[in-house]
Amino acid sequence: MNTTEALEEDLAMPPTPDPPIPSFTSSSKTTSFLSGTKSLIISNSAIPIILSNVIYFDKELKPAYRDFEFIFICENTVYDLKTTSLLNKAIQNNINEITIIRKNNKKFTLDLLKNEQFDHSKNKRSEIKRFNRPPLWYYRTPDGTIQSYDHDVNMTLCNHLLKTQNKPTPIRLVIRSKRHELDIPSRSDFNMDTKEGLQIFTDREIIKKFHWIPEFDYTGIKEMKTDKLPFGSDEFSKVADLFYFSMPRRAKGVNEDITEIISIEKIFNPKLRRNWEHELENVQIANDNPKIIYTRMLFHGTGACDPKIIYEDDKGFLINFASDDGLWGRGVYFAQDASYSHKYTFRTPSNTCKMILAQVITGDGITLDEDRNIRLPPLNELNESGKKRFDCVLGMRHGTFIYVCYDNGRAYPTYVIEYIRRDI
């Protein structure tokens, strides 16, 4: 390994792969869609390594694949983002078979009961292998932000979990020339050389942080108003925790915080909120799927636009003012990490910064590669009507998930965070 040296000799990988996990069984459904990608299957530079039905790669797989529970391989290649996303959704919705028609009219049927791909043009059947995606591990740095371990550390931890049958003992590793002892059950990383301890997390534990639903009672409120959250209150702490998750709070050798929240205001705009709740209800009815996480707390930088222009208006975020130059087309963009939205932060005359933390209706989203020509999410052919579009588009940019909405009324500006960002 390049950056990590295992100190335990029993972590060698199994010489031969185990068979894929058994297929699920359910009532048969069939669906098809027109692929918007140039090819159904793409080669991936990462070579798959199979560890007891869990898949890993000798190089980093495209970061956006982190959003999926399963990874699929056919003919030694990984399915592209869109196909992987659709296959995961098919499993969630108990759909056994999907038929894919590419733009060149080549037709593929993917059977999840038989674990089989059928290429209609070649009359050829190929095995589909389905594997669990292992958890990715992160640590809280001394500056307070969350960073991912490198690929070799993640692979070693995955192997260790498998070898110990998910009852891991502490494991000692050399990471960047320092000796570390990682204790997975206690979620700790102890640097044996510097005597410093760090908290560690899985990616799934981190994702849960963004799924909380803020309490909202606007009974008796007739006009738009803002309330400052008391410092130290539970609600203030939840918002601050999400913000500091990716915004460095401290820096080595600097006595004062380099990032400091001045205030958090909660937005009460009754008309805008009612419109948003009505939109949420429509999305829930259209999907009729309790497994979907319909809303997420996401950040938005307003650039030169004062956030109050958005939250004081009855319409809120409007597509009309979206740029035509977005990486996923013309839409309203939200980020999982505040550090990404900080690039587009609003700067006040007093040189403080402001950004919005919004409650966004992400609904049933689809993960796609960057495409500036997108104007609407693609049709969701997994839906029985065949006429419903996905609710948003997901992508990965600089290590953070980006969510793009293409309809007005899909996001409510819940909080405005004012903060200081000091240069170091």
Q: What is the pTM of this model?
A: 0.76
DSSP string, 169-207: PPEEEEETTEEEEEETTTTEEEETTTTEEEEEEEHHHHH
Cα 1 from Cα 155, distance rounded (Å): 10
H or E stretch including 315? none
Phi, then psi, of 70 in degrees rounded to 5: -125, 150
Q: For residue range 65-110, list pLDDT tens digits in order.
A: 777 888 888 888 888 888 888 899 898 888 898 888 776 788 899 9
Is CATH 1.20.810.10 the classification given to domain 212-421? no
Query: ∠ CA(141), CA(144), CA(149), 5° rounding?
Result: 30
Q: Is 272 exposed, middle or buried (0-12, 13-18, 19+ CB in 10 A)?
A: buried
* pLDDT score of 236: 96
Determine how many CB atoms are found less than 10 A away from the CB of residue 271.
Answer: 15
Do residues 79 and 87 lie in contact, with contact meaning Cβ atoms separated by under 8 Å?
yes
Determine how many CB atoms are found less than 10 A away from the CB of residue 359.
Answer: 21
- The residue behind tokens 């490198």 is 150
Determine how many CB atoms are found less than 10 A away from the CB of residue 243.
Answer: 24
Q: What SS3 state is found at 74? A: strand
Residues 278-312: b if buried by 16+ CB within 10 A, e if exposed? ebbeebbebbeeeebebbbbbbbbbeeeebbebbb
* pLDDT score of 398: 81
| Range(s) of the chain covered by CATH 3.90.228.10 | 212-421
* pLDDT score of 262: 96
Cα 244 from Cα 260, distance rounded (Å): 9
Q: What SS3 state is found at 139? A: strand
Nearest residue to 179 (alpha-carbon basis) of 195, 163, 162, 202: 195
Half-sphere CA count of 67, side-chain side, radius 13 A: 26
* pLDDT score of 130: 87
Cα 63 from Cα 395, distance rounded (Å): 9
* pLDDT score of 26: 28
Determine how many CB atoms are found less than 10 A away from the CB of residue 147.
Answer: 13
Q: What is the mean pLDDT of each run of 10 residues along the chain (424 residues)?
A: 30 28 29 31 47 60 76 85 88 86 82 93 92 84 83 82 78 92 93 92 80 84 93 94 86 70 96 95 92 93 95 90 86 94 95 97 92 90 76 89 94 97 72
* pLDDT score of 53: 60
Token readout for 43 is 């080669």
* pLDDT score of 21: 27
Pairing of strands 97-101, 30-34: parallel
R_g of the chain, CA atoms, integer Å: 23
Q: For residue range 297-353, list pLDDT tens digits in order.
A: 999 999 999 999 999 998 999 888 788 888 999 999 999 999 999 999 999 999 999
- The residue behind tokens 């909202």 is 216
DSSP strands (E only) in 281-384: 295-300, 332-335, 346-347, 353-361, 365-367
- The residue behind tokens 């990716």 is 246
Do residues 210 and 242 lie in contact, with contact meaning Cβ atoms separated by under 8 Å?
yes
Percent of the chain topping pLDDT 70: 81
